[in-house]
Structure 1
């Protein structure tokens, strides 16, 4: 058993064993998680992107006007920057990210989204992470209130007839059966579990995930953008990949839904492996070779694979190599301003292949910045 653990550590690049130990296993893995070409290490890239976010004004999906509330791409990037700060023990960065939040406790509290929609409720993951790092109870109270609201009774103008049906099934009334939901919902509920230790949060998220997997996952492990839109859109599937990886990272081993979620996750990862381009990137439409390489989904799929290898769910040789290749391809799209290129703009569903191929390719869009920070954190865990 001891030798097995030592060999795994060697494969992951974190062992201090003497050269030659478990040589056969390390050669078979053919992946190095510690030696990076100049300027591409998770520490360097994560620091650049996080510091860039700190000085970035609140964004509004590329519009010139400021947002009415914090948008979900900003939430995702903020969360990513915080996890990176924690993993690198960068107290100064954590403090800067906390200072960004401070006005929301005062006159700018209107920027806090009303938690009546998954895209707004995910915001709770940020104060919950800040609580875990600072122990400031203000963050816990806000984040927990948001997480609880998601599973409370339906109320407000966004309630639909089906909202009551989902609620009566023990699901959140905010259920939409959109693949994006499986990051938005599971992120805040997983964070509430991490912050409080109360299993009800992670159990909620797991139950919800199984319903989505049973309803939406295709035999090849991937997900259509919507039931009536038979296209495997990169970022849409990315939300599912990250959502499952993040959930499994904290889901107790005795949870009755863990096996089902792990099956869905591994099936998806195996399919993604087949569609990774020779460059290391994944495409705007995952299975369409004429589609363009897209950075946000590449970051998301890379994160999911890093997390799987680091936790022993995926074969280190096969998936570690794919993750490293994805990361090195991804960081080549980051410019001198720490902005990533080729990020698909916000995209609604449409049953039209050309619609997806023609989507605008943004630079510095937080949909793309966030997964870079998630990956940098995951490499260092």
Structure 2
């Protein structure tokens, strides 16, 4: 019998993962997270705080309730509502679960849908489609047959019955306004990406092609060719971009959805549509680099230094930029502005887990001042966009 040689176990407890002075070490020899000046456990704790705050937000004053003429009252702040604000909250939570396997996040998502299905579906519009993006991912993971009719019915409504503008764009109809002949950049996140995901999931390629078409239409009418940034809205009635507002959060939806859409479709690198989206994204990010505030945040009107800095939009920019760099869609030269933004977002998460400096829901306005007058308040989408950022930042520690 051959003698076995036993080796003494290596003691790994003495590894020093973070050099005491990383800047004395050549960058190629540093641990990959040494120059981040950030603590992984702190970002993980921030995620826990954000989730807890997200599901406990309340509008105690009634100031932010949406009161419709038919008597309905829509709560866009509380977790039990059914709007785009909760839809983005769900997606932020799903991306955290995807990154960490957080059981608490999973249970919250499942329970949210269980509770909403018991209540009955809301009226259909661009914004109430938003939660179905997360539902599609949950169906993909669980195979829960009860989810399928909802995905089927709502996606068919988007494809066949959602009001259209000239040239077939998705008209940005919401709870309290039909917004006739209007395109908004929010639409790409709220309805277009959900349609594409459901199309892939249910093997309905016409949904995917429609989603691609919507990206092209929105790029055609909402991008500012002078800067690479995006206007908030366009109307075919009068054919103008309203206040020509380069609104922060509207732009941040674009920075989020383009990397998400490219990843979702998994198109080859030489695909013309993929290249067009990447060029559109890089033009925007190049412009964003020029208007980032010294704090690391961006302003609610990106090119107006008299407008306040807004943390939700900044979180969206940080997430989209860092993900696009990680996936190789845009140059690594942009990573520094994404890291700076992510750290600024972290600094705006208080001890109660609230992302501060978040503007309330914002319609398309006819003047820049109206954007600057939108009040600041805690919102589910702010929490969610911070969750996206914190989760994406954790990839830097792997």
* Mapped pair 1:224 → 2:224: no
The Cα RMSD (Å) is: 3.2
Report the counterpart of residue 375 of structure 2 in structure 1: 360
* Mapped pair 1:195 → 2:201: yes
**Do the aligned residues in 2 keep the contact of 1:76 with 1:370 (CA within 8 Å)?**
yes
Bigger shift: residues 221-230 or 29-38: 29-38
Report the counterpart of residue 141 of structure 1 in structure 2: 149
Q: State the SS of the aligned residue for 1:141.
A: helix
Structure 2: state its 5+ residue gaps.
1-21, 68-72, 76-80, 173-180, 234-240
Q: Cα deviation per residue 1:33-56 (whole Å; 9 max; x = unaligned)?
A: 976237642x22222212333445
Q: State the SS of the aligned residue for 2:309.
A: coil
Report the counterpart of residue 286 of structure 1 in structure 2: 302
When residues 38 and 259 of structure 1 are mapped into structure 2, their CA distance, relative to the original with a 3 A threshold, is closer
**Do the aligned residues in 2 keep the contact of 1:40 with 1:331 (CA within 8 Å)?**
no
Report the counterpart of residue 8 of structure 1 in structure 2: none
* Mapped pair 1:181 → 2:183: no
* Mapped pair 1:84 → 2:96: yes
**Do the aligned residues in 2 keep the contact of 1:166 with 1:172 (CA within 8 Å)?**
no
Deviation of the 1:138 alpha carbon: 1.6
When residues 164 and 334 of structure 1 are mapped into structure 2, their CA distance, relative to the original with a 3 A threshold, is closer
Report the counterpart of residue 114 of structure 1 in structure 2: 123
Say which of 347, 357, 360 aligns to 2:362. 347
CA distance in 1, matches of 2:65, 2:29: 49
Q: Cα deviation per residue 1:319-339 (whole Å; 9 max; x = unaligned)?
A: 221111101101111122111
Bigger shift: residues 233-242 or 300-309: 233-242
* Mapped pair 1:215 → 2:221: yes
Deviation of the 1:201 alpha carbon: 3.3
CA distance in 1, matches of 2:104, 2:362: 35
Report the counterpart of residue 331 of structure 2 in structure 1: 315
When residues 26 and 252 of structure 1 are mapped into structure 2, their CA distance, relative to the original with a 3 A threshold, is farther
Q: Cα deviation per residue 1:240-283 (whole Å; 9 max; x = unaligned)?
A: 22122221222232454222211111110111111111211111
- Which structure is larger by alpha-carbon Rg, 1 or 2? 2
Report the counterpart of residue 273 of structure 1 in structure 2: 289
Deviation of the 1:224 alpha carbon: 1.9
Q: Cα deviation per residue 1:261-320 (whole Å; 9 max; x = unaligned)?
A: 11111110111111111211111110112221101110111111011111011222x222
When residues 300 and 166 of structure 1 are mapped into structure 2, their CA distance, relative to the original with a 3 A threshold, is same
TM-score by length of 1: 0.80
TM-score by length of 2: 0.77
Deviation of the 1:71 alpha carbon: 1.3
When residues 103 and 353 of structure 1 are mapped into structure 2, their CA distance, relative to the original with a 3 A threshold, is closer
Structure 1: state its 5+ residue gaps.
1-18
